[in-house]
Chains A and B, each alone.
Chain A
């Protein structure tokens, strides 16, 4: 099993550009979530999904969109990148019985 796969690992964007961070899991977990990690602030929840077709906002959702058309995939879209979105992004999947599994992260720089 691959677990949680995030792509790309690194990305540089110009202010105003849009892009999609991909996240896929092969563990048939019902829950998926996106976090951003900033120095001294730990990980903060951006958006989450409790199943295909269901998404909800986390702590810091502004500037991001998500969709969950399948159980496996949970892409995170930046609509118009801003320097404040420079961060490391982690995708995670989880289930009630098996806890959380994290992807290896995407380091995003917005210039």
Chain B
């Protein structure tokens, strides 16, 4: 199985909050990232969190990290239709600088 796991799909209404979850298995992860991919496009870095942090907030985005449970979440406040995309979490481990990605969560925002 994958080392980084995400649920496949999330649907929310415009204006609601979205919470996208991610679990990982390697306790040596140093940085954890959230990327956004719009249809036909590349990956856009949204935010990241260092492993010694519990929370990071950046405008509408809040990242929560629970190292004990190896659980990462991305909360998008006041979700807009432009937030519809696939969201990938990814980790970098102590052993190198290579990213390991989750399978991606498709966020659909309904008007």
Contact surface of A with B, Cβ cutoff 8 Å? 31, 33, 35, 40-45, 48, 50, 58, 90, 92, 94, 96, 99-100, 102-105
Contacts and interface: CB of A to CB of B under 8 A. Distances in A.
Contacts, number: 48
Interface of B: 2, 4, 8, 31, 33, 41-43, 45, 48, 88, 90, 96-104
Contact of B98 (A41, A58, A102): A58
Q: Which of B4, B31, B99, B103 has the most CB of A within 10 A?
A: B99
Contacts of A58: 98
Given A99-B48, A100-B45, A102-B42, A33 B98 contact: yes
Across chains A and B, which 4 residue pairs bring their CB atoms closest together, nearest first? A42-B103, A42-B101, A43-B101, A102-B43
